[in-house]
Amino acid sequence: MGHHAPRAFIFDMDGTIVDNMAFHTKSWVAFFERRGHAIDADDFFRATAGRQGHEIMRSYLGADLTNEDTVLLDAEKEELYRELYAPHLETVAGFEQFIEAAQEQDVRLAVATAAPPANIVFTLDGLDLRRHFDAVVGAADVARGKPNPDVFLLAAERCGAAPEHCIVFEDAPLGVEAARRAGMRAVVLTTTLPAEAFAEFDNVICVARDFSELDIATLFDTTNNIQQAQ
């Protein structure tokens, strides 16, 4: 891969830019408990992380929910989440230094998330991060959540980078699978699950605790080496 081709980093938001998945899971558990469902938090996360709210609602509350129903229910759940997480809002260690270094090396930056618009505003604007990104793609921009590749492919397109020149940053198996289907390599952040949860994926080039452990040149070299070996 020559450096003449545009390169991009595509970041999942929740659990990757911010370490918030425990708060999302708590809010889902509280939301479903109100409706008589007992949810195991770990099982729930593994089954749903990266899926859109309307997809999760229908899988637990019935496929016959109307779009209007899911919009109202989703708004209720996300309000619960923002109340729980607002006092803890901060980036994963090393993130801001990492993206500054990426920009200095002409790497384009995108966010690709299953989050609805209000949560993107809450996180990216709450932390004054939006200005750093060439593209922000969320639940309102694609019909299907992860593991479908749509959100990553749209982010790459908006960055002007081919999938093979993109590296995705994720914390969930459904997200890594979406990256694989998009033809993209992935870096896993272990904010939410241990490294073993990602052992089956051949597109994972690196597993890290946070962004302070990552080196940009090494990540692209790793991608090169894997592609040359194929």
Write the CATH number for 49: 1.10.150
Q: What pLDDT was estimated at residue 169?
A: 98
Residue bearing the bigger pLDDT, 93 or 44: 93
113 shares its domain with 159 = yes
56 shares its domain with 119 = no
DSSP-assigned letter for residue 86: G
Q: What pLDDT was estimated at residue 224?
A: 60
Q: Please give the Cα distance from 151 to 203 (Å, whole number).
A: 17
Say which residue the tokens 């008589």 belong to: 36
102 shares its domain with 143 = yes
Answer whether residue 3 is part of any domain. no
Q: Is the pLDDT of residue 46 over 70?
A: yes
101 shares its domain with 211 = yes
Question: How many domains is the chain partitioned into structurally?
Answer: 2
* Element spanning 1, H or E: none
Mean pLDDT of 56-62: 93
CA distances from 62 to 19, 54, 58, 65, 145 (A): 30, 11, 5, 6, 18
CB 205 within 8 A of CB 223: yes
Tell me the H-state helices in the chain. 21-33, 41-48, 53-61, 67-85, 95-104, 117-120, 150-159, 173-181, 216-229
Q: What pLDDT was estimated at residue 221?
A: 86
50 shares its domain with 136 = no
The verdict on whether 19 is a catalytic residue reads no
Q: What is the model's pTM?
A: 0.89
Which residues face 137 on adjacent strands?
A: 112
Q: Which entry of 12, 19, 74, 134 is annotated as an active-site residue?
A: 12
Answer whether residue 1 is part of any domain. no
Q: Is the pLDDT of residue 1 over 60?
A: no
> For residue 226, what are its two tokens?
């894997």
26 shares its domain with 15 = no
pLDDT tens column, 122-149: 999 999 999 999 999 999 999 999 999 9
112 shares its domain with 210 = yes
Strand order in the sheet with 166-170: 135-137, 107-112, 7-11, 166-170, 185-189, 204-208
Which CATH number fits the domain that encloses residue 213? 3.40.50.1000
Q: Which of 46, 64, 86 is the last residue of a domain?
A: 86
Q: Which of 37, 66, 86 is the last residue of a domain?
A: 86
163 shares its domain with 58 = no
Q: Is the pLDDT of residue 21 over 60?
A: yes
DSSP-assigned letter for residue 192: S
> For residue 124, what are the domain limits?
8-19+90-220
Q: What pLDDT was estimated at residue 180?
A: 98
Answer whether residue 2 is part of any domain. no
Q: What pLDDT was estimated at residue 230?
A: 33
79 shares its domain with 141 = no
Answer whether residue 228 is part of any domain. no
pLDDT tens column, 65-76: 999 999 999 999
pLDDT averaged over the chain?
Answer: 93
116 shares its domain with 160 = yes
Q: Is the pLDDT of residue 228 over 80?
A: no
> In which band, very low, low, confident or very high, does the pLDDT at 189 lie, cut at 50, 70 and 90?
very high
108 shares its domain with 148 = yes
